[in-house]
Chain A
């Protein structure tokens, strides 16, 4: 059927209308999307655009570090691409690595994946020692530095942040349920996880309507397992997730919390979980340092002053933390190295803590007075510097394994089954072990 001319004109009008819709919204066009790279500028140096591929919220952009670096190096433009879920990010990264293309100049690697990268594919990444990374060794906590190196001594990643742990809680909800709200009191009360669970039961006895004690079982589990030196692999690199009593113990405590009705039955990093911050659906959440910024972002202004931070039961522990690496396929290795060296330098790590609440992986930064003195108004002026530093000092040096990420995710999923779907804990445990075996062997 031939298209009548009138309709053709009308449809062109429609496309124009759609474009107009966009232009109307285009009022304030962001200007941090310039793709530089064009030669022929008036600078003496070549104009280079460095691409940075990250996941979740590293916070460099928000803390203004990119702008500062671009000011210091006018010929450099930084473009960041961030993917929300680390699983999606990592899988895209691996696909691109397989083809050797589509990679950014700098790629972030999470601590649960770093062992895999250093052990199985060092050839795909730049050995940062070529650019003098060895000199930086003393900047970092030894365990953080070591985990970024291969068995042969090549350095693959420079550490960004770590995740020393604490417990973040809602003072107003605690008050309503009749629990103490003073953080020192709570820190003393919560000597170990049994005490924590007890508090939980007390809370639930008088809980405000619609709120649970803790957000999720998997959050609790990750906090506990993060306190252990041995997790899913032993020193020789053999998987021990099924025989390591620490793993089963952490699982059992999480299950106990589920069965006592303490959890809000949420899946972490899910949409519903995001929304729950603002709705008071839970009173506590296990708080690695990077969760602080997360809480602020999700709970918004309405939550200011309602939160506080207490020490974690047990000994410190670590959850999360990342590295910055350069793929071998990058075309601007030298400039990329300069950038990551700067981003992970002690001064910038201090800024990342004071401005964005990402705790340093640099021992020098962590020892700095500014770090320890940090308090947070949002969290009722809690001395977060002290709390997290104390936790960081206690950090066990965990043995990492290549499939840590997969094991961790599968166990979290197993706990979700018990929590959200009411599965039988023992069956769920057996099934989880089977799934892990299927996934990593």
Chain B
């Protein structure tokens, strides 16, 4: 509703371009100009972005693709030996790659699924009439404002084996000191906690916004049908914000696949290895280790492009499931209201 007041009405728009020429000349000249304008101006609008994009976005990408077909070391970037797809086949046969892939998957699941569910629950709670709602919303968003580096440093200390706050807290209940960093599940859970802490509040707000857009009469109809609050949540709220849920899932998936900062900083000195047994080495870390510690740029580039393919597949699968889900939902609704 606010928008209408700000936009120019058609009359105003037309009157903005009052000219002073004669009617016939004016329209012919203006028509040519308009045609040119319509054809060319889109490119003018897009080009600032694309010029930067080509220089700083595409060029590094193309270069990396080129490098992935060579054996290059960081010490001598100019000396490239052609190896074709060898880097890729080495990758497929490398245990480290499959380990990293599995870790990325498990950390991705542990850090996204509970997080989004909690975000949903929080949004539901925030949806009530609350006193101090702004306070709650802002404080839930604070973690999002901290940097990955700061958050991970603090959490690494909290999860310390001998002097961390969390082990001390668990010790009160008689639990022995857990070496969070050493174990496979423990380290992945710890990292997921960091990610969850940062993002839950943000996603909760996004869900909240979407929830507030659901028309009230849907809820009224459900109530009349005798639905409990839980059933309302399941059958009205969640389907109602489905597109938003899909959106957050896709963004979270992309983020989870690229997970890099948190595991790197969690591990401290040898963080790039993802732990002594590579127990929390994600694909992003593997790429980093290959390129910046083993200095094998060609192999790192191959890993990066493989990650890209994986992400594309993951997003495509997500989108496909979402589309199928939506059509199922529409069919369901149509049947109900028939």
Contacts and interface: CB of A to CB of B under 8 A. Distances in A.
Interface of A: 85, 87, 91, 94-95, 97-98, 116, 120-121, 267, 269-272, 275, 406, 409, 413-414, 416-417, 420-421, 423, 434-435, 438-440
A97 B73 CA distance: 12
A95 B76 CA distance: 10
B160 A97 contact: no
Interface stretch (B107-115, B205-213, B230-238, B289-297): B289-297
Contact of A98 (B74, B160, B162): B74
Given A85-B269, A94-B74, A121-B76, A438 B94 contact: yes
A270 B269 contact: yes
A313 B154 CA distance: 41
A240 to B, nearest CB: 19
B75 A423 contact: no
B162 A438 contact: no
B276 A413 contact: yes
A417 B269 contact: no
Contact of A94 (B157, B277, B295): B295
26 contacts: A87-B272, A94-B74, A94-B75, A94-B295, A95-B292, A98-B77, A120-B75, A267-B270, A267-B276, A271-B160, A271-B268, A272-B160, A272-B162, A275-B162, A406-B294, A413-B270, A413-B273, A414-B276, A420-B179, A420-B276, A421-B276, A434-B95, A438-B94, A438-B96, A439-B294, A440-B294
Contacts of B76: 120-121
Interface in B28-77: 73-77
B293 A87 contact: yes
Nearest to A423: B277
Given A267-B269, A270-B269, A413-B270, A116 B75 contact: yes
Contacts of A120: 73, 75-76
Contacts of A434: 95
B124 interface: no
A91 B290 CA distance: 11
A413 B77 CA distance: 28
Contact of B182 (A413, A414, A421): A421
A439 B90 CA distance: 12
Interface in B121-173: 156-157, 160-163
Interface centre among A97, A269, A271, A414 (most CB of B within 10 A): A271
A104 to B, nearest CB: 18
Given A120-B75, A417-B276, A269 B269 contact: yes
A421 B277 contact: yes
Nearest to B279: A421
Contacts of A97: 75
Interface string B263-278: 0000011101100110
A436 to B, nearest CB: 10
A116 B183 CA distance: 34
B13 to A, nearest CB: 25
Interface of B: 73-77, 94-96, 156-157, 160-163, 179, 182-183, 268-270, 272-273, 276-277, 292-296
B162 A406 contact: no
A91 B264 CA distance: 15
Contacts of B295: 91, 94
B288 to A, nearest CB: 9
Contacts of B183: 421
A413 B228 CA distance: 56
A267 B96 CA distance: 22
Contacts of B277: 417, 421, 423
Given A98-B74, A414-B276, A435-B96, 10 more contacts: A85-B269, A87-B269, A91-B295, A120-B76, A267-B270, A275-B162, A413-B276, A420-B179, A421-B277, A438-B96
Contacts of A116: 75
B263 to A, nearest CB: 16
A344 to B, nearest CB: 24
Nearest to A439: B294
Given A271-B268, A275-B163, A95 B74 contact: yes
A381 B183 CA distance: 43
A414 B278 CA distance: 11
A337 B171 CA distance: 57
Contacts of A269: 269
Contacts of A421: 182-183, 276-277
A409 B157 CA distance: 24
A253 to B, nearest CB: 19
Nearest to A276: B162
A37 B276 CA distance: 45
A400 to B, nearest CB: 16
Contacts of A413: 270, 273, 276
Contacts of B161: 272
A421 to B, nearest CB: 5
A406 B162 CA distance: 29
Contacts of B95: 434
A269 B74 CA distance: 26
A275 B294 CA distance: 29
A220 B249 CA distance: 48
B293 A406 contact: yes
A434 B93 CA distance: 12
Nearest to A94: B74
A91 B293 contact: yes
B3 to A, nearest CB: 14
A163 B157 CA distance: 32
A236 B75 CA distance: 21
